[in-house]
Amino acid sequence: MDQCLVSICERFEEITDFLEHKSQEQEDIVIQLFSDFVECFTSVGAEKLEYPKEFQKDVKYFLQGEPVMMKQFEDIEFRFLMLSDFYDFCRLTKKYTNKKEYKC
């Protein structure tokens, strides 16, 4: 797993309570983390083909400025849920082992 994707997962672990304890600080973290995820995911080359097509399509359409995708990702919670799905996929497939116990 590319180091930038590992970093995304590590940073995601710091905001797992976002939906329950949302704050402006955490929203800013989610916005930055999502931006970093999109940038990182596009840079990993063939590795991105190892991930579900939903991630590939969402990132592609987001970067192309597809109106429906842009509207969805205006919602910070939607961005968080995509990051959460990515994190969960990486954990379930053992691509990533968390550095501390993840609490739902």
Domain interval for residue 39: 3-92
Residue 100 counted as domain residue: no
What's the pLDDT tens digit per position in 16-30?
A: 788 888 899 999 999
Q: CA 40, CA 78: separation in Å to the nearest integer?
A: 19
The structure's pTM equals 0.88
Residue 45 counted as domain residue: yes
Residue 102 counted as domain residue: no
Residue 47 counted as domain residue: yes
Residue 99 counted as domain residue: no
Question: Quick one: residue 66, left, alpha or beta (phi over 0 = left, psi -120 to 50 = alpha)?
Answer: beta
Residue 97 counted as domain residue: no
- Amino acid symbol at 43: S
Total structural domains in the chain? 1
Q: For residue 25, which of 76, 59, 73, 75 has the smallest C-alpha distance?
A: 76
Q: What is the pLDDT of residue 104?
A: 36
Residue 26 counted as domain residue: yes
Residue 101 counted as domain residue: no
- Amino acid symbol at 64: Q
Q: Indicate the average pLDDT of the chain.
A: 91
